[in-house]
Every structure is written in C-alpha cells, then in structure tokens.
Amino acid sequence: MKAQTAALKYCYLLSLAIATGDDPEADTSIDESTATPPAPSTVKSPARNALVCHDCGADISQRVAEYSHSKFGKFLCLNCQKLNAKIA
C-alpha cells in the first residue's frame, strides 16, 4: 500500500465514521452491555427454539409467523391476528 492510498483510505474511513474493528482501545464488555436487545417479535424462545407472538408472547409456528408478518407486519398468533383484523 502506498502512502497516498493509505491516506485516502483513512480519510474516507474517518470522515464517514466507518468502523474497521481494529480499535486497540475498544472495550467489548461495555459495548455488549449497552447494546439494545432484539425486538420481541424476533426473539426465539431458547427452551423450545420457537417464534413468539409480538402481542401476547405465545409460541407460534414458522408458517403462522410468515403469514402474520406479511399481512400485519409483525409476528402474531392466530388469536392476535383475529383481534388485529377486527381493529383494521
């Protein structure tokens, strides 16, 4: 790598705030503790590895999750789908 190429690379990285992952002062324990948890609609139950309803937290199948996500924009069990259909 030539000096001019390296200078342009770091200029772009720094001006666009692109992380390279090679920060020697990075503290991963802080980063992990401040990270936001995933939305409940995408959380899988660790015990049964099943999808859960966004509204009530009930376990749902993959097919029900796919259908409700395409129709309502979130994972819903059959009961919550009926309730949301009445509201809309």
% of the chain residues with pLDDT over 70: 65
This prediction's pTM: 0.42
User: How high does pLDDT run on average in the chain?
Assistant: 76
Say how far apart CA 11 and CA 34 lie, in whole Å: 28
User: Is residue 7 helix, strand or coil?
Assistant: helix
50: helix, coil or strand? strand
Question: Which tens digit of pLDDT belongs to each residue from 41-53?
Answer: 555 545 555 688 8
Q: Note the pLDDT tens digit of each residue in 1-28.
A: 688 888 888 888 888 877 777 766 766 6
Tokens of 69: 């996500």
